[in-house]
Structure 1
Amino acid sequence: MGFTETRFNVNLSILFTELPLLERPAAARAAGFTAVELWWPWVDAPVPEQAELDALRDALNDAGTRLVGLNFYAGQLPGPDRGALSVPGAESEKFRANVPVAVEFGRSLGCTTFNALYGNRVEGASAAEQDALALENLAFAARAVAEVDGTMLIEALNAPESPACPIVSAPKAVEIVDAVNAATGLDNTRFLMDLYHLSMNGEDLEEVIDRYTGRTAHVQIADNPGRGAPGTGSLDFAALLERLRKNGYQGWTGLEYKPGDGPSAGAFAWLPAPLRAAK
């Protein structure tokens, strides 16, 4: 129950970061994981050199790790940017340039799930202007994702850590999901339910699960407080994941937590080795 019925993947942009990017897939596989996800790895290059894309693809394939989720370009993560698509000027242009590159890279690895981070409010642009730009860019991305029969995700961050982000609750994220689906008519945009961010916002996680599981295409977890591994904080993940299962969720659950003071390989004691490999 709970853990035993969950398909886990590990986020290589927050775990195993003590290693160079190209060594992380093999390290995750050595720790027992066969599925991984990534934030866009090249924070300064929405369109990297083909050789860099090829090298990462080879590293994932050689390790025997399946890429199941990929962020579109979102600026510096972790860091203050928290997204690009709603920021007028160069950042939103980088997002649009990144979309076809990210979609093709994901497709080449069998990954068809892409996360689009909304972006902070910025000076010099009204909220209405940013929201209109965001909807235009999200619709553009959703159409690109549809070409590979994929799903685009909208995620709520948390207000304490991202006070300038306007998407800091489950209802607001789902509102954006609905707006994008209405704009495109594609119905391929879904909610990314990050239980850490929602907990930091003070939301009732059981209520969120009951209300939005049917709109959810990906889940991410980290304990609260501290954004550490399950068991380092107060969240009851066995119960929460079992509630998701009972509400019909069968997708991936990404481990998106900080490993603590030691190497990342030591941050999985809470999860028995047989449950780490993709089912």
Structure 2
Amino acid sequence: MGYADQRFDVNISILFTELPLLDRPAAAAAAGFTEVEMWWPWIDAPTPERAGLDALRTALDSAGTRLVGLNFYSGRLPGPDRGALSLPGAESDRFRANVEVVADFAASVGCTALNALYGNRVDGVDPRTQDALALENLALAARAADRVGATLLIEALNKVESPRYPLLSAEAAVEVVDRVNTATGLGNAAFLLDLYHLSMNGADLSADIRAYASRTGHVQIADAPGRGAPGTGTVPLERLLDELTQAGYTGRVGLEYTAGDHTGPGAFDWLPAMARAAR
């Protein structure tokens, strides 16, 4: 088995960052990728002008790349924010305003995986209040995703980079998945299994794969420490992806690692060309 047996896409919010956003789909295509994913690109605009959405759609289409994963509005990312949906007040309102925008854009480009970051704990706010607000907003997002035939993804992050984020294990994220599916009755919420974040938390990655592969809607990878390309750290990513396959996971694997401006010719030589194209 190995990397050649997986189906990879590349995250153009963290890779190809030496280029303007609208040039990144073409750069990904030049590197052999036919599918890309991204964070919400308008950090301060949950409801951007239509022209911006149209320009992004045109860039994807012109490059021959398909958008397969998109975040809902998550605040400043990268940066101190880790989502908006559990934050009372203006940020929660911004998330709600963004939900239908994301769903409609996803429908227009055929994107079927929408990631909703939970948000940090807030000083002076009861965590139970935040969790109730989160469930309300996640149910809203799940219904919007269902309307366009998409899966709602819920992700665990790591305590080193996101110490105030409450979902720091696969178990905690899957518990939220279950609550959302129970609340909506739709069954379209799933776990986003990010092997980098779980490894940074010291998780038993093989055990998490065995326990949650069937609940997983998408996988993301980076090596650790350092959040670099596979082979730059100590995480046995190739073996773990084989374990995911053996556990029944057949979905995509998103490359969500940092490379600075090192995404030119040869940067993806570690990954067989056949694994970069949808099949």
Shorter-chain-normalised TM-score: which range? over 0.9
In structure 2, what is the Cα distance between the partners aligned to 1:142 and 1:275? 30
Cα distance in 2 for partners of 1:103, 1:5 equals: 31
Superposed displacement of residue 38, structure 1: 0.6
CA deviations over 1:209-233 (Å, ceiling 9, x no partner): 0100000010000001100000000
Q: Helix, strand or coil for the counterpart of 1:177?
A: helix
CA drift at 1:129: 0.6
SS state at 1:224 partner: coil
**Which residue number in structure 1 is paired with residue 119 of structure 2?**
119
Is the contact made by 1:84 and 1:92 (CA closer than 8 Å) also made in structure 2?
Answer: yes
Q: CA deviation at 1:207?
A: 0.4
Show the counterpart of 1:249: 249
Post-superposition CA distance 1:241-275 (Å, at most 9, x none): 11100111010100000014634554312112232
Partner in structure 2 of residue 221 of structure 1: 221
Displacement, 1:2? 2.2
Q: Match of 1:42, as an amino acid?
A: W
Q: Give the 3-state SS of the residue equivalent to 1:102 in structure 2.
A: helix
Distance 1:261 1:108, change over 3 A: closer
Instruction: Normalising by structure 2, report the TM-score.
Output: 0.98
Give the total of aligned pairs. 279
How far, CA to CA, are the matches of 1:264 and 1:168 in structure 2? 34
- Structure 1: segments with no counterpart, 5+ residues: none
Aligned counterpart, 2:70: 70
- Which structure 2 residues correspond to residues 23-34 of structure 1 after superposition, within 5 A? 23-34=23-34
Q: Give ranges in structure 2 of 5+ residues lacking alignment.
A: none
The answer on 1:191 being equivalent to 2:196 is no
CA contact (8 A) 1:27 1:265 kept: no
Quote how far apart the aligned CAs of 1:163 are.
Answer: 0.4
Residue in structure 1 matched with residue 108 of structure 2 by the alignment = 108
State whether residues 192 and 217 of structure 2, in contact with CA within 8 Å, keep that contact through their aligned partners in structure 1.
yes
Structure-1 residue corresponding to 2:168: 168
Write the distance in 2 (CA, Å) between the matches of 1:72 and 1:244: 26
Q: Take 1:186 and 1:262, find their aligned partners in 2: how far apart are those partners?
A: 42
Q: Matched residues, percent identical?
A: 67
1:203 & 1:154 partners in 2: Cα distance? 17
Q: Equivalent residue of 1:120, what SS?
A: coil
Aligned: 1:57 with 2:57: yes
Contact 1:228–1:260 under 8 Å retained in 2: no
Pairing 1:87-106 to 2, within 5 Å after superposition: 87-106=87-106
Per-residue displacement from partner, 1:116-167 (whole Å, max 9, x unpaired)?
Answer: 0000001231101100000000001101111112110000000111000001
Amino acid paired to 2:33: F
Give a deviation string over 1:172-216, Cα, whole Å, max 9, x none. Answer: 000000000011111100000000000000000000001000000
Aligned Cα root-mean-square deviation (Å): 1.0
Counterpart CA distance in 1 for 2:150 and 2:214 is: 17
AA matched with 1:18: E
